Structure 1
Amino acid sequence: MLPKAKLIEQIAALIADRKLPILEDVRDESDEQLRIVLVPKSRNVDPELLKESLFRLTDLESRFSLNLNVLDASHTPMVMGLRELLAHWVASQIDILQRRSRHRLEKIGSRLELVEGYIIAYLNLDRIIEIIRTEDEPKPEMVAEFFLTGRQAEAILNMRLRSLRKLEEMELRQEREDLLAEQDELEKLLVSPTRQRTGLKRDLATLRKDYAEDTALGRRRTTISEAAATVEFSMDAMIERAPVTVILSAKGWIRGASGHEPLDRDFKFKDGDGPAFALHAQTTDKLLIACGNGRFYTLGTDKLPSARGFGEPLRSMLDIDAEAEIVVVLVFRPGAKMLLASSAGKGFLAPAEDLVAETRKGRAVITCKPGVTLKAVREVPEGHDQVAVIGDNRKLVVFALSEMPEMSKGQGVTLQRYRDGGLSDATSLRLADGLSWTMGGESGRTRTETDLLMWRVARGGAGRLPPTGFPKDNRF
């Protein structure tokens, strides 16, 4: 049994580590009776969710598997089902009942022999006393005169004289009748399987009474009942939702600042380091981290180190190759459709769920041959129907989103042809809204081109120079 103090310590540690955010506090209000008070965060907390989470995260409930690998009556190891196991148990109990009955019959026979001798002694008490007083060897004399057995004579001789005088014929005869009746019942039991099963039922009824719920033993009884419905919940549901600003430095140090800080704020970095990515998220979100080698990694924002320092190296949290460049950091949106493109001018659409990695090693999504890197990872908003691609050669193409296949992994299809260089950037758009891009400089203004007719081609075209004012870095 787990000590109360240890259990409270477990729950308090979960609260301190923010692994049980739906619980506010735990208190010990025990006196003669055990009383642990759990204080939820609010009245809206689902009691079943709180209970199930405590069962899973603490020793309030212990679960173990049952392996019914047993030895049968012939000592042969075998795996039994529950029905077969119970059948063998019943057979074993019947065997125990039979052996116990035979043993009792032996005891009854032995006692009857002595009782018969005591009755003879009672009926001839004066003569028995005379023999004991006058004969040097009274035992043979008693055996010969009263037809006693050796055990009967020995038992009479071993009794004190005072005990002999206290022998009562009625008591002896009543004991003999009781023993004979019990003997008869046991003999009938041994030859009757029906009586044996009835006897087993009677024994089980006695056990049931001894272990009833209102008895001291019964309170410790293991109950067998229908398993309670399992409350399914994700461990993500245990994370307290709060805004966080994700900051990743150029040298790969990551941290999370509480709240949504302005993304253009002058964050502090180590000497020789600087900003790379900054984005807003929630502590319940997952980050998708894409590297130039085509691998994707997943990291929960609740696991980010505090922004009070410079954070921790991202590569100490994920198994990212030292040579791999981090291309994109974005928030995972369930159900989103993602546009992926490589420097070879190839790409495809992928469900966001197919980019999520379950291990530190990440997940290979877009195949990058030697010299090829992942260039663009964009979420495709609802309603977008076109794809815009620009190459290092500063040529722009716009084609229908429907021309791109949806895949889970691979190289993808050709998005744009190049004589020199490769793909620089790719994005999606709604044709009716036009193509927008961010202007260079400190202004950060956005410009939109709505007349895209001259750039609209079939997928795989070479393209034309972009509209006037398009950024020199060939990025949308």
Structure 2
Amino acid sequence: MNDITDTAPSDELSESLSRAIGERYLTYALSTIMHRALPDARDGLKPVHRRILYAMRELRLSSNGGFRKSAKISGDVMGNYHPHGDAAIYDAMARLAQDFNVRYPLVDGQGNFGNIDGDNPAASRYTEARMTAVAEALLEGLNEDAVDFRENYDGTLTEPVVLPAAFPNLLANGSSGIAVGMATNIPPHNIEELCNACLHLIKSPNARDETLLEHVPGPDFPTGGVLVEPRENILEAYRTGRGSFRLRCRWEVEELGRGQWQVVVTEIPYQVQKSKLIEKIAEIIQTKKIPILGDVRDESADDVRLVLEPKSKNVSPDVLMNMLYRHSDLEVRFSLNMNVLIDGLTPKVCSLREVLQAFLAHRREVLLRRSRYRLDKIDHRLEVLEGYIVAFLNLDRVIEIIRTEDEPKPVMMAEFDLTDVQTEAILNMRLRSLRRLEEMELKREHEALLLERAGLEDLLASEELQWQRIAEQLRETRRQFGRTYEGGARRTTFAEAGVVEEVPLEAMIDREPVTVVCSQMGWIRAMKGHIALDQEFKFKDGDGPRFAFHAETTDRLLVFGTNGRFYTVSASTLPGGRGMGEPLRLMVDLPNEAEIVDLFTHEAGRRLLVASSAGDGFIVPEVDVLAQTRTGRQVLNVRGDTVAKVCHPVSGDHVAVVGENRKVLVFPIDELPEMGRGKGVRLQKYKDGGLSDLTTFTLTEGLSWKDPAGRTRTQTELEEWTGKRAGAGRMAPRGFPRDNRFN
């Protein structure tokens, strides 16, 4: 059997495969960038939207005409121009009809086209559509050679490469898309403000971004809202083409009498689904993240009306809304990424000025092409009119030639020096046009066309006249779609965000006394009022009392587990005392293998001494153990069989430690470090066993403990047990409890 040692063919195959994959992926990436995801800076449309509008124009679905089934429209788009799924085409068309998604809808829909709750449109066979006046403004001039046309996907028809676009649709309606390696996200703006900015750019082509911001102060979202982004941030975003805008809901306070009130949200941020927003707020109420919030109701009809009811009137509506801004989508950030196709070819992140300049350059090109087209039409008509005039001046001879000659055309051309076009027009003239009145009308039309032709030639020769004409068109567009147009007035207003301060829990809920009861199995509840702690409480069978103490609804409770983690629970979120409560493990993520070491009320400024069963420990400020999440905060590091054993508030100047071997050691508290997290230092040395309990006390007052009879005993002479930290200690004093615990 021969050995195969030559690997060159496989290397060549690998290299060619790599090149082939690279080339094909590059082709796919370019196709995605240019034909799907990124809009054209000139008309602000992607190919699917452009084809939808062009197909509707071909179907003669004008804004004042009749409606056609959406299935017919999407079918024509798919069959003639856009060889993709009809579902994708219909979704794109439906979005153009949604006034909560598109600032200036391009499709006038009849039927269910979805709603702000996030419900999908009805099937295309149930809905009908036509163009809006705004869409017609984008198409104006298509039949006047305003733009280039190209063949459709199968070469049987032609479609426009770009639309003439009478206004900057890219900014007016915004756009979003994700391509390969790049994305775009542009918010909607107000047409009147955009036209003002374009007019200013025509006067001052090198206008500064700060000046443009006076005309376009910021986005104008279809759902309104309040923009709270500082002006300098908006300016930077428009200058670089990248940034973000903070957008809040619009709300008002309704007085209900007797000091009661409720907040009514009338506008929600852009692209926030109302149903999901309500679900989120309901979850906040259920988890009691904002204890002052009592209820949320959706009273919306055609307008938005979300009612937020507070639990207490003690807090101002501003405090409630500031908390909701932080925890819900009543405030969102809208990212700006002005990544567009310049001239339909080159993707580029543009500034506001660059986008407007690209639109103006496009409008100038459209103006020049339409003017040349009109000039050609005028020249053709003038040629025909001159022939008509010759015919009227020699009417009898023309009639004679037509009646007597077998081939009148060449005879007329030779006798009157007419062109082929003129002769053909004369021969096709109707008899009723041979009136004297018609001759006068022809001369007037001829003179008017000559004047128009001279004006067009002046326009084509003068850049200044061209910009004047473009400015006139923009003023007309501003008049048509400005503040007098239905929905044309600015909807999004501006305000300062203000400082959203951390609101203390005490300020958000009513302060009421409760008695916290926790069983041995970890079932916890809060009973109203301060109940005597020595009374009997009911527990489940096989369960018994573990912790019982007085607290208030504004308190935060600290739970210390054997895993060395501290968990924080708000007393206001505890279940009521009518039942047996709920397992504490459902409120925090305490593992099943971990037990509760201690449960107590948080006191600001206090320090805690934590220790493990191995006899290691340290002091930690109580404020450092507060946790913001259910998972808690790891403070005492433990490994293997070692568990967290003790958590004791620090008071006094000495520490007393007792081990399972009943040896007691007393040492100054200054020998312990203060840390935020760690294993700690050795408190007491053991040959066998580990730590049993510890306490802190003032040396001059003596060490106290309770004997089996419940009486407090105090040992003042402690020289025998006093030593250095990490010592072994001496046997406990006479009368020390057999359970090796100080309390």
Normalising by structure 1, report the TM-score.
0.77
Residue of structure 2 aligned with 1:188, choices 437, 451, 462: 462
What is the Cα deviation at residue 92 of structure 1? 4.5
Distance change >3 Å, CA 153–CA 239, structure 1 → 2: farther
Amino acid at match of 1:330: F
Secondary structure of the structure 1 residue equivalent to 2:376: helix
Distance in 2 between residues matched to 1:467 and 1:234, nearest whole Å: 50
Query: 1:55-454 counterparts in 2 under 5 A?
Result: 55=325, 63-73=333-343, 75-77=345-347, 80=349, 83=351, 86-118=353-385, 121-122=388-389, 124-128=391-395, 131=398, 135=402, 140=410, 143-144=413-414, 147-154=417-424, 160-162=430-432, 165-166=437-438, 167=441, 169-189=443-463, 206-213=476-483, 215-219=485-489, 228-229=497-498, 231=500, 233=502, 240-243=509-512, 244-357=514-627, 360-380=630-650, 384-431=652-699, 434-438=702-706, 440-441=708-709, 452=718
C-alpha distance in structure 1 between counterparts of 2:312 and 2:634, whole Å? 42
Say if 1:148 and 1:372 are closer, same or farther in 2 by CA, change over 3 A.
same
Structure 2 runs not aligned, ≥5 long = 1-99, 101-115, 118-265, 267-273
Report the CA distance shift for 1:146/1:385 in structure 2 as closer, same or farther (over 3 A).
farther
Between the aligned partners of 1:138 and 1:453, the Cα distance in structure 2 is 142
Deviation at 1:145, TM superposition (A): 5.1
Q: 8 Å contact 1:365–1:410 — kept in the other structure?
A: yes
What secondary structure is seen at the aligned counterpart in 2 of 1:51?
A: helix
Kindly tell me: are residues 176 and 316 of structure 1, through their superposed partners in 2, closer, same or farther at Cα, counting changes over 3 Å? same
Over 3 Å counting, the alpha-carbon distance change for 1:428 and 1:281 in structure 2 is same
Going from structure 1 to structure 2, the CA distance change for 1:226 and 1:314 (only over 3 Å counts) comes to: closer
Higher gyration radius (CA): 1
Q: How many residues align?
A: 464
* 2:740 equivalent in structure 1: 474
Offset of residue 374 of structure 1: 1.8
C-alpha displacement at 1:266, in angstroms?
Answer: 2.0
Taking structure 2 as the reference length, the TM-score comes to 0.53
The AA in structure 2 aligned to 1:424 is S
Q: Structure 1 residues 36 and 405, CA, compared in 2 at 3 Å: closer, same or farther?
A: closer
Cα-to-partner distance string for 1:408-434 (whole Å, 9 max, x where unaligned): 333211222334433221223344555
Q: Distance in 1 between matches of 2:643 and 2:284?
A: 44
Q: CA deviation at 1:404?
A: 0.7
Unaligned ranges ≥5, structure 1: none
Distance 1:305 1:432, change over 3 A: same
Stretch moving more, 120-129 or 268-277 = 120-129
Q: Deviations over 1:169-218 (max 9, x none)?
A: 335413431342133213323xxxx6666666665555555554454242
Deviations 1:46-88 (Å, cap 9, x if unpaired)?
343333445556665554434444444463445x2x52x6415
CA offset digits 1:257-312 (Å, max 9, x no partner):
34444333322211111122233444454433222243434444455444433333
Cα distance between partner residues in 1 of 2:507 and 2:409: 88
Shift of 1:222: 6.1
Change (3 A) 1:408 1:470: same
Aligned-partner Cα distance in 2 for 1:65–1:238 = 34
Q: Cα gap change, 1:93/1:318 in structure 2, threshold over 3 Å: closer, same or farther?
A: same
Give secondary structure in 1 for the equivalent of 2:378: helix
**1:377 positional shift:** 0.8
Amino acid at match of 2:695: T
Root-mean-square deviation (Å): 4.3
What SS does structure 2 have at the residue aligned with 1:90? helix
Counterpart of 2:644 in structure 1: which amino acid?
L
Equivalent position SS for 1:287: strand
What letter corresponds to residue 474 of structure 1 in structure 2? N
Distance 1:38 1:317 in 2: 25
Kept in 1, the 8 Å contact 2:522–2:583? The answer is: yes
Instruction: Say if 1:68 and 1:15 are closer, same or farther in 2 by CA, change over 3 A.
Output: closer
